C-alpha cells in the first residue's frame, strides 16, 4: 500500500502532503507562541503600580544585554539565509554546496544556543540583595571567593545558610545606576570602575536571590519563551544536521522527496527565526 | 455492492499481501501499528475503558453526595487501603478525595474518553474510509499520536497514587488554587496533571494535523468537498479546533508548571495569603490570565465534544430514514460557522470574574450568535425525519434520541449565555445538568449509535439487537433521571462544589432555608446513576460476545448505505479498497426517484 502525494504535488491543491502538514503544524505553533506573547502583554499591562516597571530597581528595562541580543539576531537571520541557499543548491543539483550551507546553518544554530546559554548563566549568577533598611542592590555577588547561582528569592534559606557558615560579609559588584528607561546614568558614572564592589554584612540582608523565574514575572516570561524557543532551535538544528549527513542518502534514492524535506525543514527553520524576530524587540527592547 | 462483497475475501487480501513484505508480529500488529483502522480500535478500546473508569469515579462521588459521612459500600475499604487514611478514613470519602475524584472525573471524561473516542476512534477508523483514502496521510505520526495519548492516560492514572493524591482543583485547574492546594508536595497531583495534559495536547496536535492533511490531500477521485459525508466535515472542523485551540492551553500548562515547580508567579497575585501565611512568591501574576487561556481551549473543546457526535448522528440517521439529509449544504456551512465562532465565545465562562461588563456584553453577543448554526443543524436533522421510512434498530434509536437530548442540553445553555441570568445560575447544579445533557445523553448516545452502526464493518458481525434495545431503553430512562433533577437543584441555588451534597445549606429547618426536597433528589440521582451503570451491562456483554459469536454480515454493506466506507471489504484490509475508489455522486442519495434501489452508493457508476 502506498500513500499518494507523499512527494508529488496533488494536482488540485498543488501541494505535497508534508507541506500541508508543516503549514498546519506552524499554525498550531503560532497559537502556542501567540498565547505566550499575549500572556506577556496581559501580565505587563495589568501589573500592580510600581511593579512592572519596578520603580525602585528600574526593572525590567536594561536587564538584558542588547548588543549580545542583536548579535544573536544577526546569527539567526544568517542561518535563515543559508538554509534557503542550501535548498536552492539542491534545486541546482549541487549537493556539495548544499552540504556546506546546511553545515553553516547548523553552526549558526549552535552559536545562537551557545550565546544564549552564556546569557542565561549570567542571569543565574546575578542577584538582587534586599537589605533590612529597605534598599536593594543588584549585581553579581562573591561569597567566600565563589560566584554562586540559583539562590532563591524570598526564601530565607540562603541568608540563614550564610549565618550558619559564619560568613559575615559578601561582596556585591553593584550594577551602575539606571534611569527608568534602563539607560545607565552617565553623570553618575564611575569612570573605568563601572562595577564598584561593595561589601555587605550578612546581618544587614533581608533576603537575596538570583535572576530566575521566581524573582519577577518578567523573568518568568523571559525564561519560558526563550527556553521554548531555544528548544525549537535545538530540535531544528538536529533535524537539519540529520538532513545534511545520515539523511542525505535519500538524495541518491529519491532526490525529489529529499528536496521536499529540505523545504519543509527550511519552513520550520524560518518560523523559528520569525519567533525570535518578535521575541528580540519584545523582551530586549520594550 | 454485491460485486465488492465477492471481492472481499479474494483479491483484497491478495493485494494486501502483495505489498506487505512480511506479516507483522504481535507488537507490529497491535501496539506499533500504523494502520488507521488498528489505531482507531486502540483509541476506541482505551477510551471506552477510561469512560467506564470515569463513571466509577462519579458513582463513588454520588454516593458521598447522597449519603454524606457514610462509608461507601464495597469500594470504601478498598479506597482506604489503597489511598490511605487521609483520603478515605473508614471507607468514608474525605473532602480531598472528593475534590480529586471530581477533578479527575472531568479530566478523564473530556480528554481521555470522549475526545479520543470521537476523534481518535471514529475519526481514525471512518474518515479515511469515507473519503476513499488508503490510510491517514502520516501513518507513523498517527501511531505516535496514540502513544502520546496512552502515555498521558498512564500519567493521569498514576497521579492517584502520588502522595497527596491526584489533582483536586477541578478539571479547570484554576490558579492560584491549583498552585497552592498542596504546598507540602511540590511534585503533586497537579504537576502530574499538567504533564499528562502536555502529552495529551501533543497527541491531539499530531492527530489534528493528520486529519486535516488527510482530508485535504487524500480525497479519492470524484470526492469533491460537497460530496464529502457530513461526518467528514465535522471531523475536518474538529481538527481545526484541536489544532488551534489546544496550544494556548499548552502555554498555560507550561506556565502553571513553572509556578508549581520553579516558584514563578504567572498566575499568583501579590500578597497572596494561604493558611494565614503570606506565600513567599514575587507575585505580580494574574489569576484571570489562566482562565482566559484555559477557556480559550475550553470552549472550542465543547464543540470538539459535540461536532463529531453530530457527524455520527447525521450518518446513522440518513441511512436509517432512507432519505437524504435535509439541507446538507446549510449543515456544512453551519458547522464551519460554529468552528469559527467557537473561538470568540470563551469568556462566557467568566462572567463572574469581574472582567468588566463591556467584555461580558461582547461575549454574550457572540454566544447568542453561535446558537444559530447549532439550531440550524439540529433543525435540519429533525426536518430530515419528515416523511422518512424510519428503521428502528439500536443504532438509529440512539441517534434519534440524541436529537431531543442535545436539544435540551443546548436550550438550557441559553440562560447561562446571558450574563444577567448566569449570575444566579453560575457554578450551580444547573450548569452541571446543562453540559451533561450535551455530553452524556448527547455525545454518549452518538458514540453508542456509532458503535452499533460501524461494528459490522469493523468485525464482520452484527451486534445483538435485543441487548442493544435493552441498553438503549435503560440508558435513556436513567440518563434523564440522573440529569433532569440537577436543573431543579440548580434553580434552588445548590452549588456544584459541595462534597456533602448541600447538607450544610439545605439540611436545616425549613424556616431557616432548609429544603429536604432538594436533598432527596441526591438519592434519586444516586439510584438512577446505579441504574445507568446496570444498563450498560447489556452493552458490555453484547460488545464482547458479538465479536466472537454475533450474526455474520450477509454483505459488505449490511445497512445498504451510500458512503464509501461501505464499499470496502469487511473488515477492510491494509490499504482499505479493492481497486481505486471513485465517488460518482453526493453522499446521501437515498430513495432517488427512478433509481433501481432505494440507495445509490457513491461508488456506483451513474
Q: Which of A24, A154, A224 sits opposite B213 (nearest CB)?
A: A24
- Determine the length of chain B: 606
**DSSP character at residue B346:** G
Residues B399 and B405 sit within 8 Å (Cβ to Cβ) = no
Distance from C-alpha of B168 to C-alpha of B181, rounded to nearest angstrom: 8
Could you tell me the three cell numbers for B219? 480525497
Residue B14 has pLDDT above 50, yes or no: no
**Contacts within 8 Å (CB) and 24+ apart, B358-367:** B360/B419, B361/B419, B364/B417, B364/B418, B364/B419, B366/B341, B367/B417
Q: Which of B209, B263, B296 sits opposite A152 (nearest CB)?
A: B263
User: What's the mean pLDDT in B549-563?
Assistant: 95
3-state class (DSSP) for residue B233: helix
User: What's the mean pLDDT in A173-179?
Assistant: 80
User: What's the mean pLDDT in B174-201?
Assistant: 91
pLDDT band (50, 70, 90) for residue B7: very low
Handedness of CA B381, B384, B386, B390 (dihedral sign): negative
Cα of A187 to nearest chain B Cα, Å: 32
Domain ranges in chain B? 32-268+287-567
The 10s digit of each residue's pLDDT in A124-163 is 888 888 888 888 888 888 887 778 777 654 454 567 777 7
Which residues of A are less than 8 Å from B266 in CB distance?
39, 43, 217, 220-221
Residue B17 has pLDDT above 60, yes or no: no
Residue B254 has pLDDT above 80, yes or no: yes
Which residues of B are less than 8 Å from A35 in CB distance?
247-248, 250-252, 293, 296
Listed residue (B377, B376, B357, B375) closest to B365, CA to CA: B357
Peptide bond into A53 cis (omega under 30): yes
Which residues of B are less than 8 Å from A261 in CB distance?
none
Residue B8 has pLDDT above 80, yes or no: no
Distance from C-alpha of B258 to C-alpha of A214, rounded to nearest angstrom: 9
> The complex's ipTM?
0.93
Share above pLDDT 90 across residues of chain B, in percent, rounded to a whole number: 83
Q: What is the pLDDT of residue A188?
A: 52
Cα of A100 to nearest chain B Cα, Å: 31
A116-120, B371-375, B409-413, B514-518: the lowest-pLDDT one: B514-518
Which domains can be identified in chain A, with CATH numbers? Answer: 17-123+216-285 (1.20.120.80), 126-182+192-210 (no CATH)
Which chain A residue is nearest to residue B135, measuring alpha carbons?
A3
CB distance B264–A217 less than 8 Å? yes
3-state class (DSSP) for residue B60: helix
Between B306 and B283, whose confidence is greater? B306
Q: What is the pLDDT of residue B246?
A: 96
Which residues of A are less than 8 Å from B19 in CB distance?
1-2
CB distance B243–A17 less than 8 Å? no
pTM, two decimals, is 0.94
Distance from C-alpha of B567 to C-alpha of B556, rounded to nearest angstrom: 7
Which residues of B are less than 8 Å from A228 in CB distance?
254
Residues B574 and B133 sit within 8 Å (Cβ to Cβ) = no
Q: What is the pLDDT of residue A187?
A: 57
Q: Which residues pair with A130 in a beta bridge?
A: A136, A207
Distance from C-alpha of A207 to C-alpha of A158, rounded to nearest angstrom: 8
Listed residue (B569, B319, B567) closest to B452, CA to CA: B319
- How many beta-carbon pairs under 8 angstroms link A with B? 140
Torsion angle, alpha carbons of B539, B540, B544, B549, to 10: -40
The 10s digit of each residue's pLDDT in B477-499 is 999 999 999 999 999 999 998 89
Residues B249 and B293 sit within 8 Å (Cβ to Cβ) = yes
A171's enclosing H/E stretch is strand A169-174
Q: What is the pLDDT of residue B182?
A: 82
Which residues of A are less than 8 Å from B218 in CB distance?
3-5
From the candidates A151, A220, A261, which should be mutated to test the interface with B, based on the most B CB atoms within 10 A? A220
Which residues of B are less than 8 Å from A232 in CB distance?
none
**DSSP character at residue B91:** G
CB distance B218–A4 less than 8 Å? yes
Cα of B128 to nearest chain A Cα, Å: 12
CB distance A46–B286 less than 8 Å? yes
Q: What is the pLDDT of residue B9?
A: 42
Cα of B337 to nearest chain A Cα, Å: 19
CB distance A24–B208 less than 8 Å? yes
Q: What is the pLDDT of residue A194?
A: 59
pLDDT band (50, 70, 90) for residue B4: very low
CB distance A214–B19 less than 8 Å? no
Question: What's the fold here for domain B32-268+287-567?
Answer: Cytochrome C Oxidase; Chain A (1.20.210)
Residues B45 and B53 sit within 8 Å (Cβ to Cβ) = no
Which residues of B are less than 8 Å from A47 in CB distance?
284
Q: How far is CA A213 from CA A153, A210, B123, B244, B264, in A?
A: 10, 9, 41, 27, 5
Residue A202 has pLDDT above 90, yes or no: no
User: What's the mean pLDDT in B127-142?
Assistant: 96
Cα of A52 to nearest chain B Cα, Å: 8
Amino acid at each position: 500500500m502506498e500513500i499518494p502525494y507523499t512527494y508529488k504535488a496533488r494536482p488540485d491543491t498543488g501541494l505535497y502532503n508534508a507541506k500541508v502538514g508543516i503549514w498546519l503544524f506552524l499554525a498550531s505553533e503560532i497559537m502556542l507562541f501567540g498565547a505566550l506573547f499575549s500572556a506577556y502583554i496581559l501580565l505587563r499591562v495589568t501589573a500592580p503600580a510600581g511593579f512592572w516597571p519596578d520603580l525602585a530597581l528600574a526593572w525590567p528595562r536594561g536587564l538584558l544585554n542588547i548588543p549580545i541580543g542583536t548579535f544573536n539576531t544577526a546569527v539567526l537571520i544568517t542561518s535563515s539565509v543559508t538554509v534557503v541557499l542550501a535548498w536552492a543548491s539542491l534545486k541546482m543539483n549541487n549537493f556539495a554546496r548544499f552540504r556546506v550551507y546546511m553545515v553553516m546553518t547548523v553552526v549558526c544554530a549552535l552559536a545562537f544556543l551557545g550565546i544564549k546559554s552564556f546569557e542565561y548563566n549570567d542571569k543565574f549568577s546575578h542577584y538582587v540583595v534586599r537589605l533590612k533598611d529597605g534598599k536593594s542592590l543588584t549585581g553579581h555577588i562573591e561569597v567566600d571567593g565563589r560566584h554562586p547561582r540559583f539562590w532563591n528569592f524570598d526564601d530565607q534559606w540562603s541568608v540563614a545558610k550564610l549565618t550558619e557558615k559564619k560568613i559575615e560579609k559578601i561582596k556585591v559588584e553593584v550594577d551602575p545606576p539606571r534611569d527608568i528607561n534602563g539607560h545607565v546614568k552617565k553623570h553618575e558614572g564611575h569612570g573605568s570602575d563601572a562595577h564598584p564592589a561593595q561589601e555587605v554584612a550578612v546581618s544587614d540582608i533581608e533576603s537575596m536571590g538570583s535572576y530566575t523565574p521566581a524573582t519577577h514575572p518578567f523573568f518568568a516570561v523571559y525564561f519560558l519563551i526563550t527556553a521554548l524557543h531555544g528548544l525549537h532551535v535545538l530540535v531544528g538544528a538536529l533535524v537539519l544536521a540529520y538532513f545534511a549527513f545520515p539523511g542525505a542518502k535519500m538524495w541518491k534514492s529519491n532526490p525529489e522527496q529529499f528536496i521536499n524535506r529540505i523545504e519543509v525543514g527550511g519552513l520550520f527553520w524560518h518560523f523559528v527565526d520569525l519567533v525570535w524576530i518578535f521575541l528580540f524587540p519584545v523582551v530586549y527592547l520594550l | 455492492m454485491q460485486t465488492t462483497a465477492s471481492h472481499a475475501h479474494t483479491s483484497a487480501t491478495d493485494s494486501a499481501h502483495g505489498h506487505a513484505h512480511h506479516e507483522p508480529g504481535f507488537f507490529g500488529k497491535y501496539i506499533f501499528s500504523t494502520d488507521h483502522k488498528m489505531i482507531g480500535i486502540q483509541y476506541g478500546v482505551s477510551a471506552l475503558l477510561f469512560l467506564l473508569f470515569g463513571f466509577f469515579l462519579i458513582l463513588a462521588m454520588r454516593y458521598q453526595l447522597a449519603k454524606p459521612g457514610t462509608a461507601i459500600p464495597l469500594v470504601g475499604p478498598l479506597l482506604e487501603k489503597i489511598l490511605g487514611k487521609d483520603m478515605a478514613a473508614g471507607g468514608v470519602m474525605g473532602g480531598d478525595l472528593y475534590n480529586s475524584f471530581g477533578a479527575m472525573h472531568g479530566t478523564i471524561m473530556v480528554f481521555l474518553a470522549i475526545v479520543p473516542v470521537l476523534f481518535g476512534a471514529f475519526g481514525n477508523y471512518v474518515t479515511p474510509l469515507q473519503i476513499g483514502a488508503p490510510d491517514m496521510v502520516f501513518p507513523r505520526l498517527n501511531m505516535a499520536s496514540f502513544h502520546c495519548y496512552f502515555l498521558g492516560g498512564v500519567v493521569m492514572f498514576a497521579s492517584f497514587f502520588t502522595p497527596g493524591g491526584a489533582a483536586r482543583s477541578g478539571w479547570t485547574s484554576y490558579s492560584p488554587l491549583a498552585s497552592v492546594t498542596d504546598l507540602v508536595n511540590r511534585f503533586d497531583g497537579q504537576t502530574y496533571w499538567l504533564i499528562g495534559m502536555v502529552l495529551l495536547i501533543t497527541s491531539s496536535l499530531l492527530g489534528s494535523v493528520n486529519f486535516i492533511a488527510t482530508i485535504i490531500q487524500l480525497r479519492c477521485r470524484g470526492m469533491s468537498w460537497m460530496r464529502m459525508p457530513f461526518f467528514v466535515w465535522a471531523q475536518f472542523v474538529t481538527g481545526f479546533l484541536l489544532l488551534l485551540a489546544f496550544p494556548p492551553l499548552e502555554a498555560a500548562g507550561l506556565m502553571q508548571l513553572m509556578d508549581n515547580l520553579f516558584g514563578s508567579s504567572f498566575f499568583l497575585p501579590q500578597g497572596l495569603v494561604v493558611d494565614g501565611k503570606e506565600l513567599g512568591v514575587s507575585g505580580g501574576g494574574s489569576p484571570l490570565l489562566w482562565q482566559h487561556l484555559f477557556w480559550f481551549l475550553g470552549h472550542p473543546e465543547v464543540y470538539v465534544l459535540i461536532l463529531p457526535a453530530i457527524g455520527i448522528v447525521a450518518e446513522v440517521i440518513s441511512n436509517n430514514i432512507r432519505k437524504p439529509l435535509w439541507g446538507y449544504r446549510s449543515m456544512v456551512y453551519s458547522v464551519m460557522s460554529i468552528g469559527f465562532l467557537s473561538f470568540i465565545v470563551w469568556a462566557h465562562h467568566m462572567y463572574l470574574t469581574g472582567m468588566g461588563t463591556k467584555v461580558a456584553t461582547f461575549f454574550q453577543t457572540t454566544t447568542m450568535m453561535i446558537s444559530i448554526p447549532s439550531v440550524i443543524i439540529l433543525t435540519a436533522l429533525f426536518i430530515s425525519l419528515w416523511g422518512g421510512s424510519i428503521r428502528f434498530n439500536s443504532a438509529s434509536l440512539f441517534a434519534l434520541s440524541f436529537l431531543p437530548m442535545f436539544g435540551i442540553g443546548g436550550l438550557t445553555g441559553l440562560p447561562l449565555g446571558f450574563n444577567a441570568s448566569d449570575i444566579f445560575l453560575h457554578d450551580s447544579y444547573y450548569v452541571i445538568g446543562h453540559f451533561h445533557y450535551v455530553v452524556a445523553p448527547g455525545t454518549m448516545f452518538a458514540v453508542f449509535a456509532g458503535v452499533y452502526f460501524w461494528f459490522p464493518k469493523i468485525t464482520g458481525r452484527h451486534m445483538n439487537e435485543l441487548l442493544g434495545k435493552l441498553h438503549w431503553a435503560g440508558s435513556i430512562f436513567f440518563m434523564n433521571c440522573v440529569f433532569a433533577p440537577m436543573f431543579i437543584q440548580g434553580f434552588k441555588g445548590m452549588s456544584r462544589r459541595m462534597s456533602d451534597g448541600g447538607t450544610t445549606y439545605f439540611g436545616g429547618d425549613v424556616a431557616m432555608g432548609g429544603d429536604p426536597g432538594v436533598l432527596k433528589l441526591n438519592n434519586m440521582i444516586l439510584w438512577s446513576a446505579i441504574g445507568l451503570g446496570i444498563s450498560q451491562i447489556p452493552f458490555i456483554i453484547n460488545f464482547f460476545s458479538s465479536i466472537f459469536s454475533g450474526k455474520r454480515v450477509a454483505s459488505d454493506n449490511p445497512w445498504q448505505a451510500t458512503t464509501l466506507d461501505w464499499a470496502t471489504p469487511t473488515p477492510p484490509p491494509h490499504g482499505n479498497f479493492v481497486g481505486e475508489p471513485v465517488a460518482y455522486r453526493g453522499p446521501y442519495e437515498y430513495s432517488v426517484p427512478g433509481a433501481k434501489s432505494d440507495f445509490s452508493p457513491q461508488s456506483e457508476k451513474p
